Structure 1
Amino acid sequence: MIAQQMPVLLAFGANLGDRGETIRAAQRELASAAGISDLNASPLRETIALTLDGPDPDAPRYLNGVATATTTLRPHELLDLLQTVESAHGRTRDERWGDRTLDIDIITFGGRSISDDRLHVPHPRAHERDFVLAPWLELDPHAVLLGHGRVAELLERIGDTTRPFEEPTHA
């Protein structure tokens, strides 16, 4: 039996440590993982930290980006893989929406809607997060978020507070 290939959109964020290198390392690891192919990462964007109490200008700033990929993994297998990569990069889950070395979310999984105790897809807050929408729009100007509409219109509605991040060039 041939496994079904599903397009996915993953979101990456980090506000502790070498944020850019951590995100790019995680993306390289995922690109070479069994069951993942065609990973295409967006440029990174920098944003103010978002906490349970709202934006926090005093917290370390986040770097965020997204990546499209194709997977033959089932949704929870993909989630397990992402959490393994997060843990390998020092991710702890001490505080909801707290500072983190790496966060990877499944934003979309094919055209599927999934809701259980471990996974909600499409991501329930993606439509209101400029740090997901702005890099996604850079990858795909025609992107549509299931249940919410065109990404360009969503971003226009909420506004874009992100700013481009100049990644270091390695000689």
Structure 2
Amino acid sequence: MDIREIQNLIKFVAKSGATEVKLEMDDIKITIKTTDAASSETTTYVQHVPQQMQMQQAPQQQAIAPSAPVAAAPAADENAKYITIKSPIIGTLYRKPSPDKPVFVEVGSTISKGDVVCVIEAMKLFNEIESEISGKIVKVLVDDASPVEFDQPLFLVDPS
């Protein structure tokens, strides 16, 4: 299916008055959502699914799905007593101030409010991330030199 056929399909759906149309072919999935006819806005999602991946993913998803909720419940209960230090910005996290220096904090380290726990590089600026709580580092959730998103959990801290 080429771009012209997709554009014609979008126009046809918009004129027909349908609010949502999903089309799945061998290697393409298309979802077209329209709002009311007065605003004439259309949202289209086109997803290309390689044939090999499509066949490989189906059996794996069936096998994984039943066991996932059972395993997630105990982990959530264990982590509920800990406070999470989250990333305030998007960037690359570094656990060391420089490659030849030791890490800021490790599992078991005791931190106080205001202690630097890591550095996040954003747009060539290195931002020191300070702890807003006191406690003991229980778990490091992000590897050194890895990208992080806004509000992504970085460390678990036991405040007791």
TM-score tier after normalising by the smaller chain length: under 0.3
- Give TM-score, length-normalised by structure 2: 0.17
Greater per-residue strand proportion: 2
